[in-house]
Structure 1
């Protein structure tokens, strides 16, 4: 279908792994910011107890450190944005998969209903055939037995042939 989106549960898992890695990276950046702030505090204390001629070195170092901290915060903010987008994409993929699953379930339900209706029709047909068989089978059985040469009417009396047992054996075997 035009514009169809190929996705499966592996895609969601990959987005979750990606998001987990980004969250770990945010933690590392935050720890770097914390360490940078501790170093700034140490530099400020060291500058107070150092000769004034070292002041420009401390100020350059503090400025570089402040720039680094700001860059880490910017990177952390951008990564937070990526995390948010990845979670949104994962939700979108999950929604697409849910819609497809619902559509497939609806199609399966329609097919199951068709099969149930067909089964009901076949059951009614088999019931009719069973009823017809129950009515005519005894008559067919009697007609078959009396249509053989095992029985003979002589002067109004019924005589059974001596080899009738062969018929019984054959009927039981089948």
Structure 2
């Protein structure tokens, strides 16, 4: 697949990040083709479950379209020009250790893209994820709550180290 952007424009993306984004873009386009509702083909006399399915597919398609635009923009212009404002988010390189309700502890490092984590002993955490956002404004010893697909979870901040 040809590159959507070029390094001439100063995209500042690592080869691994560019490859990941190009793969994500291809998957998003495939998902869009499968999920996009075709209102001409929909049965106008369906039950409310059919209508709910069409609405859900339309919402999913709208999300996919937004993400396709974001990824295309990243590939074209790079993260320094197109990333949403990082103001109010943890900076890349922040390291946090959390203790979860079951007593397990996990160390995570904030990264721009989840697959760019470099520390073998730390999981990747993006600053704009629900967990990343929940950490903003908190310090060691605080308990945070964040939303997951399975419901709200809580964790205690054992350590929080901003990058030097």
Q: Which has the higher contact order (CA 8 A, sep 6+)?
A: 1
Higher percent of residues as helix: 1
- Looking at CA atoms only, which structure, 1 or 2, has the larger radius of gyration? 1
The two structures have a TM-score, normalised by structure 2, of 0.36
Higher strand share: 2
Taking structure 1 as the reference length, the TM-score comes to 0.34
